[in-house]
Amino acid sequence: MKFLLTLASLLRFFGLLGLLSLASCTPKEDARISGRLVLEYWEKWTGFEREAMAGVVDDFNNSQDKIFVRFLSVSRIDQKMMLATAGGVPPDIVGLWAINLPSYAENNALMPLDYLAKDAGIRQEDYLPVFWKLCSYRNFLWALPSTPSVTALHWNKKMFREAGLDPEQPPRTIAELETFNAKLTRKNADGSLAQIGHMPQEPGWWMHDFPSWFGGASWDGATKLLLDAQPNRHFFTWLESYPKRFGGGAMFELRGGFGNFASPDNPFFNGKVAMIMQGVWMNNFIKKYAPTGFEYGAAAFPEETEHPEAPLTIAETDILVIPAGARHPKEAMQFIAFVAQQKNTEKLCLGQHKISPLRQVSDEFMNHHSHPYLKVFQSLANSSRAQPTLSLPTFKQYANDMITYVNLVLLGRMGADEARVTMLARQQKALDAKVDRWNKVAPVRVALWEKEIHP
């Protein structure tokens, strides 16, 4: 009996503690500063990129007196947003990458923006098609672009001259790229590589998109990965040719001496690699870290078959989203719509030295932009063959596996076919599981989203 009494006292004690903790978890009042509703905006940017957005946030805060946007730089933002959303306390606005969209949307982590965007006067036709596509998934709009980028070939003009190549004539096909590659590659007396014209793993950030340059894609957009298709076979065979021509060990030995990307030891700046695939932001790093007088060119990355009338590029974009469960979606959309106005988008993209995602680009933007090849990038983004980067619900697994198998092929440790088939088996299984899961929840999810976009 005494034991039971003691137990009852203990339960009362823990019950009280439980009630106290529950009380501390009840929703708080809306945060306000001088009567203005405070919106929390998490963004991944730091440095000058952060400063560029901070200027736009200030403009928004000064433009009206109802809302105050509190701007916060957050590292590993994709993971933190996931945890905050799962915990029921997401911020009001988050700056993510477009590659995050499929998995976030399928997991109900985002708010569909179709209705809110329409209500705020945002129109699809105002954007370059590829960037609008990057913000859409399963026929819903989930985000709006903030600062976009497209990829292009960057080449070192000095190295071209030294190899007897015309520095104003980049390669236009993969075959030409490899002819140039042979001319630009130099070996040391002991047979090791002193410099190389091109190596796919430098920087190797778009391996998952590379089949596009061989005329294909990585998946059918629904349920099937296309690693067995001809373009993917060509891509892997092309990779396999590298260790045969340059030596897998020699390439990795050369790569072992490369410095950090954001440093003067970047292999493109210090003459170790002559041709690389990079995005529009590369000019920022060139200005900061490359030696004085560094000369480079930028053009469409060569394809297996040339299409001069409509060059291929892979587009990516940073995006603004409203997490599911955010408490002030209308006000959040008001801020996003402000950023989407041409003058504000241009201010942001100018500050970050990137291209504009909008169809209309002002003369002021073109004239004030510091990128010497802005027109090249802007026209690549305008190309009818500009393609969105891989939008796969299993993107991270796929991209991670791709890097592993590509490196094994480039090292000469695994044949092209073995790598491709092994990867296909692993990744198709992962995709099947996601598709299966999606099919189970789709009717409920889509009905919910439909309700949200037709309030």
Which residues contact another protein by CB under 8 A?
2-3, 5-6, 9-10, 13-14, 17, 79, 82-83, 85-86, 103, 107-109, 249, 252-253, 255-257, 394, 396-397, 400, 403-404, 407-408, 411, 413, 426, 430, 433, 437, 440-441
> Between 10 and 31, whose beta carbon lies closer to another protein?
10
> Between 437 and 451, whose beta carbon lies closer to another protein?
437
> Between 55 and 259, whose beta carbon lies closer to another protein?
259
Q: Minimum distance between the CB of residue 78 and another protein, rounded to whole angstroms?
A: 9
> Between 13 and 48, whose beta carbon lies closer to another protein?
13
> Between 102 and 302, whose beta carbon lies closer to another protein?
102
Q: Minimum distance between the CB of residue 431 and another protein, rounded to whole angstroms?
A: 12
> Between 91 and 231, whose beta carbon lies closer to another protein?
91
Q: Minimum distance between the CB of residue 330 and another protein, rounded to whole angstroms?
A: 23
Q: Minimum distance between the CB of residue 362 and another protein, rounded to whole angstroms?
A: 39
Q: Minimum distance between the CB of residue 86 and another protein, rounded to whole angstroms?
A: 5
> Between 106 and 318, whose beta carbon lies closer to another protein?
106
Q: Minimum distance between the CB of residue 404 and another protein, rounded to whole angstroms?
A: 6
Q: What are phi and psi of 4, to 5 degrees?
A: -65, -40
Q: Minimum distance between the CB of residue 17 and another protein, rounded to whole angstroms?
A: 7
> Between 83 and 182, whose beta carbon lies closer to another protein?
83
Q: Minimum distance between the CB of residue 22 and another protein, rounded to whole angstroms?
A: 13
